[in-house]
Structure formats: C-alpha cells, structure tokens
C-alpha cells in the first residue's frame, strides 16, 4: 500500500514535509480544505506559529473536521507547532487557542525560549534505528506531563549544556498520533517521516 499523507498547508514547512514524505515512498499532498482532508489516509501538521495555525483552522473550516478525523483514529504527526496543536493542554498559550486533541499531554509553548535560543542536538529516538536523530529546535515546545497511555520516544540528554531542558520530553506517541518538538524535515534525515509512513501503512 502506498499511503496518501496530507500536509496541513496553512503555514510552516509544508514543502519540506511533502518532500520528506515523498522520499520515503508516500504520496504527499497539501491539505487546505475539508474535502482534501477527507481524501487522505493521514495528516502531518508542520511547525509554524501554533496560534496562527489555530486561527487559520477556524477560517478554513478545518478545525472540527480535523478534530473528528483524529478522534476517529486517523494517523497524525505534528512537529513543533504541530505538537502543540495535538496536545490536550497547552501552557503559555493564548486563551483563544484551539486544540485538536489526540495526545494526552501537557505541552509548554516556546519552552526552549525565543528564536535566538534555537539549537540542534543529536537525540536517540525509540523506534528509530541507525543511531541518533539530528534534531533542530526552533522556539520549540516540550512536554511537561504525559498521560499513562503516552509513549515517550525521546528526551533531551542530561548534559552540562542542556540546562533546564535536560530530561525534558521532546518526542511522544499515543496510538496513531506521533509528535516531536523538533523539525526533522529540515535535516535531510527521513527516518522520522519513514516511521510515520510505516505507522500509516500498518493502520
């Protein structure tokens, strides 16, 4: 089976996600309308600005259809802002920010600081073979609390340079929903996307 995976194309690294998915054998298409959402097997929610994406989901009449698809078991993967949108609860978000659900986690928005605090790190990720994944963090969130059904896939290594970020959860999975605080689409390492495509195939 060649899965057709949509990439939410309202803001963020849409082209990079489409290219990464295509490179691992999936059919990747941008999604901006409810009819386009209906046609895909799964959805990637890219990084960007989570409050802006939240508002655009309402404007494009995608919020409720997307919530319904995720609740019905559609596989979804969110990177950075996508993780925030998939979380059950967000700290330091805007009061009017909408959540999609799918992950029983509490996420802290912009936990790693401002744009100037962006950084890269090599992270071991459970379920991803071949050594550590190069992770790019850009105004990234982290998971403050994960529910009992959430599988923690990666945490920030406890090194002297990590500071308050040491041990923080930055990749999770719950059922068919995957999320990372970092941007694998920016590194040329397609293993996270391949793992998601495999999850979609198995679904």
Q: Are strands 76-79 and 42-45 parallel, antiparallel or unpaired?
A: parallel
* Tens digits of residue pLDDT in 91-100: 987 778 899 9
Q: Can you spell out the DSSP letters for 131-170?
A: SPEEEEESS--EEEEE-TTPEEEEE----TTTGGGTT-EE
120 labelled catalytic? no
Residue from 143, 140, 120, 169 nearest 80 by CA: 140
For the segment 6-33, the average pLDDT, to the nearest whole number, is 95
Q: Give the pLDDT confidence score for residue 162 in this predicted structure.
A: 64
For the segment 76-82, the average pLDDT, to the nearest whole number, is 96
Q: Give the pLDDT confidence score for residue 74 in this predicted structure.
A: 98
pTM for this entry: 0.93
Active site residue: 16, 80, 144, 151, which one?
Answer: 80
Active site residue: 16, 17, 183, 193, which one?
Answer: 183
193 labelled catalytic? no
Is pLDDT above 80 for 1? no
Tell me the CATH number at 138: 3.40.50.880
Domain count, the chain: 1
* Tens digits of residue pLDDT in 136-174: 888 889 999 999 999 999 998 877 666 677 789 999 999
Q: Give the pLDDT confidence score for residue 147 in this predicted structure.
A: 96
Burial (CB count within 10 angstroms: exposed 0-12, middle 13-18, buried 19+), residue 181: buried
Region of poorest pLDDT, from 14-18, 113-117, 147-151: 113-117
Q: Give the pLDDT confidence score for residue 161 in this predicted structure.
A: 63
Region of poorest pLDDT, from 15-19, 37-41, 108-112, 127-131: 108-112
Q: Which domain does 195 fall in, by range? A: 4-202
CA distances from 178 to 27, 35, 74, 117 (A): 19, 23, 11, 25
Radius of gyration of the chain (CA): 15
Numbers of helices and strands, H then E, in the chain = 6, 12
Is pLDDT above 60 for 117? no
Q: Give the pLDDT confidence score for residue 116 in this predicted structure.
A: 41
Q: Give the pLDDT confidence score for residue 94 in this predicted structure.
A: 78
Q: Give the pLDDT confidence score for residue 118 in this predicted structure.
A: 66
To the nearest whole number, what is the mean pLDDT of the chain?
Answer: 91
Active site residue: 16, 17, 185, 193, which one?
Answer: 185
Q: Give the pLDDT confidence score for residue 52 in this predicted structure.
A: 92
């Amino acid at each position: 089976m060649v899965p057709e995976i949509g990439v939410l194309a309202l803001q963020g690294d849409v082209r990079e996600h489409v290219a990464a998915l295509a490179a691992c054998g999936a059919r990747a298409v941008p999604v901006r309308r409810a009819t386009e959402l209906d046609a895909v097997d799964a959805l990637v929610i890219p990084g960007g600005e989570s409050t802006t994406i939240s508002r655009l989901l309402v404007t494009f009449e995608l919020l409720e259809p997307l919530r319904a698809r995720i609740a019905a078991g559609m596989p979804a993967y969110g990177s950075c802002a996508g993780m925030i949108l998939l979380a059950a609860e967000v700290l330091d978000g805007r009061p009017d920010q909408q959540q999609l659900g799918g992950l029983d986690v509490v996420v802290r928005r912009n936990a790693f600081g401002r744009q100037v605090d962006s950084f890269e790190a090599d992270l071991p990720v459970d379920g991803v073979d071949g050594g550590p994944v190069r992770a790019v963090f850009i105004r990234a969130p982290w998971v403050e609390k994960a529910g009992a059904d959430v599988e923690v896939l990666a945490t920030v290594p406890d090194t002297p340079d990590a500071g308050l970020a040491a041990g923080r959860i930055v990749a999770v999975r719950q059922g068919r929903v995957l999320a990372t605080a970092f941007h694998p689409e920016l590194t040329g390492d397609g293993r996270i996307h391949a793992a998601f495509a495999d999850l979609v195939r198995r679904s």
